[in-house]
């Protein structure tokens, strides 16, 4: 059973461009979480999705950021008009149930660099 797959592993964008980060959860997992890790900091929650639904986006910046988890295909975190402050590692995690009852499986992250 493959783990959580994130791609690309590294992404470089110029200011003003769009960044699309993809996450395929583990097979059988219907809960997806996105976290952001700034340099020398812990992970910060961004958004929690189930298939076709955003359950909690309280950690998402109000502008330029959006996330989806369609019925078919990977979850996508989209950042429009990127700025230097968006440079970070973005982690996706999945679980089959509420994470308190089952471990959260993380992907290897996508490191976004905005130049």
Partner 1 sequence: AQTVTQSQPEMSVQEAETVTLSCTYDTSENNYYLFWYKQPPSRQMILVIRQEAYKQQNATENRFSVNFQKAAKSFSLKISDSQLGDTAMYFCAFIPSRENTDKLIFGTGTRLQVFP
19-27, 48-56, 67-75, 79-87 -> range binding partner 1 (CB under 8 A): 48-56
Q: Which is nearer to partner 1, 79 or 94 (CB)?
A: 94
Contacts of 114 (CB under 8 A, 6+ apart): 12, 13, 14, 15, 82, 83, 84, 85, 86, 87
CB atoms within 10 A of CB 53: 9
Q: Is 67 a residue that touches partner 1 (CB under 8 A)? A: no
Q: Which is nearer to partner 1, 24 or 95 (CB)?
A: 95
Q: Which is nearer to partner 1, 76 or 89 (CB)?
A: 89
């Amino acid at each position: 059973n493959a783990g959580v797959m994130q791609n690309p592993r590294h992404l470089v964008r110029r200011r003003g461009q769009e960044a699309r980060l993809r996450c395929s959860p583990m097979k059988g997992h219907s809960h997806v979480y996105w976290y952001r890790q700034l340099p020398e900091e812990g992970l910060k929650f961004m958004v929690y999705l189930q298939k076709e639904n955003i359950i909690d986006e309280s950690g998402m910046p109000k502008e330029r950021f959006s996330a989806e988890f369609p019925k078919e295909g990977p979850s996508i975190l989209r950042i429009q008009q990127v700025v230097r402050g968006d440079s970070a590692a973005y982690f996706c995690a999945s679980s089959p149930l509420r994470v308190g009852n089952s471990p959260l499986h993380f992907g290897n992250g996508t490191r976004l660099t905005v130049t």
